[in-house]
Amino acid sequence: MSQTDVTGAPRRGKVLTLDTMNPNIKQVEYAVRGAIVQRAVKIEKELREGAKKPFTEVIKANIGDAHAMGQKPITFLRQVLAMCAYPELLKDDAFPKDAKQRAQRILEACGGHSIGAYSASQGIECIRQDVSRFIEKRDGGIPSNPDNIFLSTGASDAIVTLLKLMVSGEGRTRTGVMISIPQYPLYSAAIADLGAVQVSYYLDEDKCWSLDVAELRRALRAAREHCHPRVLCIINPGNPTGQVQSRQCIEDVIRFAKEEGLFLMADEVYQDNVYAEGCKFHSFKKVLFEMGPEYSSTVELASFHSTSKCYMGECGFRGGYMEIVNMDPAVKAQLVKLVSVRLCPPVPGQALLDLVVNPPQPDEPSYSSFMKERTAVLDALAKKARMTEQIFNKVPGITCNPVQGAMYTFPRITLPPKAIDKAKEEGQVPDMFYCMRLLEEEGICLVPGSGFGQREGTFHFRMTILPPAEKLEIVLHKISAFHQRFTKEFS
């Protein structure tokens, strides 16, 4: 091509090219919506266009999106939101009194009494107060200050915002962020985007994905050779591994954070998703305060919650909050400034969060139906968690830890050496090769374990337990049959 255009001026290439763009973005990976999902979407299109496949629909068990998997919204939440969005409905007798009161209260707190107005950047004040009351109640009366609550665009936004605040230094002084392996890839993606250093600590698969402080110590020591670890991230209940941490373990982690001078980030978006007998959710905030002032007045903590998970599954509203504890007031002022640049989290998401933290009370008309719907969702998840473990553990070559909490299983799969060689030949990591074959043959979309991190030489996949029970049972049996076929083919 000529170096000049028709006017004779030098022809310029694109300003933004792969060479000139932000190099950190090129390092970002997010397996949950990665190559396998793109192929799944294509297959769906092929099916719509009449292609003949061994299946008639693609089941997307790759992402923790409850409503996409058929979960019905909780009536009370949607009634209030409907009235917030269209206040004319406040006159409608079909809506219960308590739902109307909630909607009215939210609207009164909105600019111009409309959820279409911007809110304060930290979130609507009365909702932050409700969040504080919720936390106090959840944690047995330990005080929570609404000034320390930041409403957010889902938990993701708050997590990234906080990480952003924490990244500094160059070379050996660059911030290191400790994350579990396997991990939820938001963390590795945000770390890559911000140019921080990922410090991986491994969960113990043989002990039901538990967290061992000796492993934290090993990872920290090794990392101090090349960066400055400042942050320790914990996901409890765990994604993708579904473990629920014991109180003792949380105490050990807090002690470790204090000894080593680490800021704690506790991702607690699955706090209501606890299924296994003997397991209980303990918030980091509560344990921190129960450990006494030596810890509760010093250890810096941010904890995160969301409207996307638990019994609500309202991912699309993008509601969430973070609570900060012991943050330096000067840094907190910087955080307030940082969130103000983005104006505010979505107000419908804030309204939804308000209902989650302030649900119907026993003396209110919506209480019994609300509790019935909430319990039905959580009971069904508990049943599906047990079913998943039971079915997978019957298959030679699949081992599956109990799904104690959250919404996922992360079973280990044994792959024959010939399958590993074949994957390499095709330029794929072995578990991606496995998942792609499963998608092509059975129409089931999972995420390869390599997208979350796993110990060298081990292979896994992540699957949600969200499909309705009857469908999930079919999916589990199809995966089991596929695994045996695959193993035979490559043996």
Length of the chain: 491
Tokens found for residue 15: 């300003």
Residue 446 CB, nearest distance to ligand PLP (Å)?
15
Q: With respect to ligand PLP, which residue has the nearer C-beta, 288 or 447? A: 447
| Burial degree of 168 (CB within 10 A; 0-12, 13-18, 19+) | exposed
Task: Write down the least CB distance from residue 186 to ligand PLP, Å.
Answer: 6
User: Which residues between 234 and 253 bind ligand PLP (CB under 6 A)?
Assistant: 235, 239
Whether 266 and 253 have beta carbons less than 8 Å apart is answered as no
Phi, psi (5° rounding) for residue 62? -95, -20
**Cβ 384 to ligand PLP, closest distance in Å?**
17
CB-nearest residue to ligand PLP: 154
CB contact at 8 A, 82 and 89: yes
180 binds ligand PLP (CB under 6 A): no
Asked whether the beta carbons of 401 and 241 are under 8 A apart, the reply is: yes
112 Ramachandran zone, left/alpha/beta (phi>0; psi -120 to 50): left
Q: In whole angstroms, how close is the CB of 371 to ligand PLP at the nearest point?
A: 24
For CA atoms 363, 367, 372, 377, give the dihedral sign: negative
Least distance CB 301 / ligand PLP (angstroms): 16
Looking at the Cβ atoms of 269 and 287, the one nearer to ligand PLP is 269
Assess 431 for contact with ligand PLP (CB under 6 A): no
Using the rule CB under 6 A, is 443 a contact of ligand PLP? no
**Does residue 272 touch ligand PLP according to CB under 6 A?**
no
Contact 438/60 with Cβ under 8 angstroms? no
Closest distance of CB 155 from ligand PLP, Å:
4
Q: Which is nearer to ligand PLP, 64 or 360 (CB)?
A: 64
- Omega prior to 182 cis, within 30 of 0: yes
How many C-beta atoms surround the C-beta of residue 170 within 10 A? 7
Site for ligand PLP in 11-70 (CB under 6 A): 64
Q: DSSP for 160-226?
A: HHHHHHH---SGGGSEEEEEEES--THHHHHHHHHT-EEEEEE-BGGGTTB--HHHHHHHHHHHTTT
349 binds ligand PLP (CB under 6 A): no
Give the residue from 281, 321, 279, 326 showing the smallest Cα distance to 303. 321
Nearer to ligand PLP, 211 or 235 (CB): 235
| Of the residues 269, 274, 352, 438, which one makes contact with ligand PLP according to CB under 6 A | 269
Question: How near is the Cβ of 263 to ligand PLP at its closest, in Å?
Answer: 17
CB of 485 to ligand PLP, least distance (A): 31
Query: Residue 100 or 305: which CB sits closer to ligand PLP?
Result: 305
- Amino acid letter for position 257: A
Letter for the amino acid at 318? R
Give the residue, chosen from 251, 267, 272, 389, that forms a contact with ligand PLP under the rule CB under 6 A.
Answer: 267
Please give the residues from 278 up to 337 whose contact with ligand PLP meets the rule CB under 6 A.
306, 308, 315, 320
409 sits near ligand PLP (criterion: CB under 6 A): no
DSSP state letter for 478: H
Least Å distance, CB 154 to ligand PLP, is 3
Cβ proximity of 123 and 295 under 8 Å: no
Single out the residue of 215, 217, 211, 213 nearest to residue 238, CA to CA. 211
Non-local (6+) Cβ contacts of 434 within 8 A are 413, 415, 419, 423, 448, 459, 461, 486
- Within 368-387, the residues that bind ligand PLP by CB under 6 A are none
Task: Print the binding letters for residues 140-159 with ligand PLP: x by CB under 6 A, - otherwise.
Answer: --------------xxx---
182-201 residues in contact with ligand PLP (CB under 6 A) are 184, 186
Residues forming the site for ligand PLP (CB under 6 A): 64, 154-156, 184, 186, 235, 239, 267, 269, 306, 308, 315, 320
